Amino acid sequence: MRIDLHCHSTASDGTDTPAELVRNAAAAGLDVVALTDHDTTRGYAEAVAALPAGLTLVTGAELSCRLDGVSMHMLAYLFDPEEPALFAERELVRDDRVPRAQGMVAKLRELGVPITWEQVARIAGDGSVGRPHVATALVELGVVPTVNDAFTGDWLADGARAYVPKHETDPFEALRLIKGAGGVAVFAHPAASKRGRTVPESAIAELAAAGLDGIEVDHMDHEPATRARLRGLAAELGLLATGSSDYHGSRKTCVLGEYTTDPEVYGEITRRATGAFPVPGAGGAGSGAGAGAGTRADV
């Protein structure tokens, strides 16, 4: 059973529509795929409607958080998307995305880059605008060769020349909101140091004590030694260890299923969640823990 628990669609900053994402996931041989767009559940309905037989969809989101000035991402799985407190917080984060991206455009223009808001808005399309869209504009303009090259201290990395901070949720508050909505919380790429500063292990221990369910261990931004260290930390703290591609379509280099989550860990996530159930693809064959599950009001 192949399980990829972290993927983005055009509902945030991926390049596959939600329908394309689930079709591509099935074509990549996945049995379970999670849709975890940044701070939105907007892609759910389309993904569910297009879900191929044999593929199970885990609904989720990746919440933008900040701890002691350090940006971090919290994956939330199988929460009730209608739960008002979590919904309100996601809105607050999302409403900030446009002014923030506009702020980055203004800073880049001050640096002499001929970027425009119209260009970034065109690249974002219907998606919720974010740094990868600004980075794509820099590639279009020939300022940097690839999107990854824009995520450096020269341009858009945390604290870089054109960086603008955004409203981000305190992760302890995020845990309360996710739990309150019946969801399961996994700290995404906790040691992805290429993206900027990361939180110390002591903070992961505090989050674990506050109800964090797991950490994403196998991720493209973690070197093998980092993964080994995180796996040990997860065992020590009693946390689930997940793996996932953090797929963004053609915007980033990773492919669906590049890293995957152990079926036992996945089973434990589905057992802990009470806000929504995994959705088996039409045809009913389903797979693993998702098979036969009800689909409550999670679309």
Residues in touch with Zn ion (CB under 5 A): 62, 73, 188, 246
259: Cα within 13 Å, side-chain hemisphere: 23
When the beta carbons of 94 and 143 are compared against Zn ion, the nearer one is 94
Q: How far is the CB of 62 from Zn ion (least distance, A)?
A: 5
35: β partners: 7, 59
Looking at the Cβ atoms of 73 and 133, the one nearer to Zn ion is 73
* Cβ distance to Zn ion smaller for residue 4 or 46: 4
Taking the complex as a whole, the smallest distance from the CB of residue 148 to Zn ion amounts, in Å, to 14
Cβ-based neighbours of 205, under 8 Å, separated by 6 or more: 237
Pairwise CA distance, residues 74 & 216, whole Å = 10
Would you say 65 or 143 has its CB closer to Zn ion?
Answer: 65
CB nearer to Zn ion: give 73 or 166. 73
Residue nearer to Zn ion on the CB measure, 151 or 155: 151
Comparing C-alpha atoms, which of 133, 66, 63 is closest to residue 94?
Answer: 63
Which among 12, 259, 3 is positioned nearest to 128, based on CA atoms?
12
Residue 221 CB, nearest distance to Zn ion (Å)? 9
Which CB atom, from 188 or from 279, has the smaller least distance to Zn ion?
188
User: 135 φ, ψ to 5°?
Assistant: -65, -40
Pairing of strands 279-280, 214-218: unpaired
Helix pair angle (201-209, 171-180), 10° resolution: 30
Rounded to a whole number of angstroms, the minimum distance from the CB of residue 68 to Zn ion is 18
- The span from the CA of 159 to the CA of 181, in Å, is 33
Residue nearest Zn ion, Cβ-based: 73
Distance CA 177, CA 74 (A): 11
Smallest separation (angstroms) from Zn ion to the CB of 142: 27
Phi, psi of 279 (to 5 degrees): -105, 115
9 Cα distance to chain centroid: 10
* CB contact at 8 A, 169 and 65: yes
Smallest distance, Å, CB 220 to Zn ion?
11
Shortest reach from residue 44's CB to Zn ion, in Å: 16
